[in-house]
Amino acid sequence: MSCEELQGHYELYAMGLAEEPERSEIREHLDRGCEVCMAELKRARALSAIVSGSAEPAEPSLQLRRRILASVGVERQRLRWWAPFWGVAAVMGLFAALYFNGRERDFAALLASARQQARDQAIELTKLNEAFAIVNGPDTTEASFGQGQPQPPKGKVFVNPSQGVLLVASNLPPARTGKIYEMWIIPKGRMPVPAGLFQSAGDGTALHVQRGPVDVDATGAVAVTVENEGGAPQPTSQPLIVAAIPPRGPAPR
């Protein structure tokens, strides 16, 4: 094979994934000192090193999102708990594209896409770890919403005085274009306090974390409304979700 015919296979060779006969052909070219193949392999190895280092290492539990969403009865087959695989999928997608087109002008765009997906993965993993800390907190207060009603959003709210508030919901379709969900912490006898914006997934599940200390004893409820993109300082629509926060028991002596 000529060097031109081997284009698109150097990246796979650098990763140890090239198949025959291309693997043997590249090795033969290298053994006879082919300058073109040596330069292409050097470039492929450099690209492989960049991509492999584009995602920050993270090793969360693969069952974390499943465990949290299962607490509100979301069906197992609908759970989107595959966030830890995004980085791997991004890298494999990159090299699949290189395999089929082998064009260097695509490298920058493909690498940028892989890095963006790696960043998205890191954000998702951070959110799941924060949610896990709230759910497992020994002083976390739990409240349910939506039970006993036909097809409402259903789920739970977890409030931890030092970690923050976690909202887990199902049957909450994505807000329409130009709109977004906004969570509110409603103190007893006072105006609602904004507690972050979020969007539900395509399957109707939502997991939103608002980090920071919360005065649980002074909190009457946690609510969710639909607002314009960018949110609002005070609710402008009827709440879709209202979870009354039960009073905590006396602190143990």
Per-residue pLDDT averaged across 214-224, rounded?
Answer: 95
DSSP for the chain, written as a single string: --TTTTTTSHHHHHTT---TTHHHHHHHHHHTT-HHHHHHHHHHHHHHHHHHTSS------TTHHHHHHHTTT--GGG----GGGHHHHHHHHHHHHHHHH--GGGHHHHHHHHHHHHHHHHHHHHHHHHHHHHHT-TT-EEEEESTTSSS--EEEEEEETTTEEEEEEES-PPPPTTEEEEEEEEETTS--EEEEEE---TTS-EEEEEES---GGGEEEEEEEEEETT--SS--S--SEEEEPPPPPPPP-
Structure confidence by residue, pLDDT tens digits, 127-175: 788 888 898 888 999 999 987 666 789 999 999 999 999 999 999 999 9
Whether 225 contacts 236, CB under 8 Å: yes
pLDDT of residue 121: 73
Q: If you average pLDDT over every residue of the chain, what do you get? A: 78
Cα–Cα dist 79/66, whole Å? 6
pLDDT tier at 218, thresholds 50, 70, 90: very high
pLDDT of residue 217: 93
For the chain, percent of residues with pLDDT exceeding 90: 38
CATH number of 141-244: 2.60.40
pLDDT tier at 219, thresholds 50, 70, 90: very high
pLDDT tier at 83, thresholds 50, 70, 90: very low
pLDDT tier at 42, thresholds 50, 70, 90: confident
Domain boundaries, the chain: 1-52, 57-136, 141-244
Answer with the residue of higher pLDDT: 253 or 7: 7
Whether 106 contacts 97, CB under 8 Å: yes
Rg (CA), the chain: 25
Answer with the residue of higher pLDDT: 184 or 6: 184
